[in-house]
Amino acid sequence: MDPCSESSSNSPQDSGSVSTVASGSSSSPPAVATTPSRYENQKRRDWNIFCEYLKNLHPPLSVSQCSSANVLGFLSYLDQFGKTKVHNLTCPFYGHPTWPDPCPCPLRQAWGSVDSLIGRLRAAYEENGGSYKTNPFGAGAVRRYLREVRDSQSKARGISYEKKKRKRLPPQGDVS
Write out pLDDT tens, residues 102-133.
888 888 999 999 999 999 999 999 999 999 99
The number of C-alpha atoms within 13 Å of 93 and in the hemisphere containing its C-beta is 16
pLDDT computed for residue 24 by the predictor: 47
Instruction: Say how far apart CA 38 and CA 42 lie, in whole Å.
Output: 6
Please tell me which residue, 169 or 48, carries the higher pLDDT value.
48
In a domain, 120, yes or no: yes
The total of structural domains in the chain comes to 1
pLDDT computed for residue 72 by the predictor: 97
Share above pLDDT 70 across residues of the chain, in percent, rounded to a whole number: 73
At residue 118, what is the residue type?
A: I
The CATH code of the domain that includes 113 is 1.10.150
Per-residue pLDDT for 1 more than 90? no
In a domain, 20, yes or no: no
Question: Cβ distance 19 to 141 under 8 Å?
Answer: no
57-93 pLDDT, tens per residue? 999 999 999 999 999 999 999 999 989 888 888 888 8
In a domain, 18, yes or no: no
In a domain, 119, yes or no: yes
23-46 pLDDT, tens per residue? 444 555 566 668 889 999 999 999
In a domain, 10, yes or no: no
Question: Cβ distance 36 to 15 under 8 Å?
Answer: yes
The residue segments making up the domain with residue 41 are 35-157
User: Which residues, in sequence order, are CB contacts of 115 under 8 Å at separation 6+?
Assistant: 146, 150
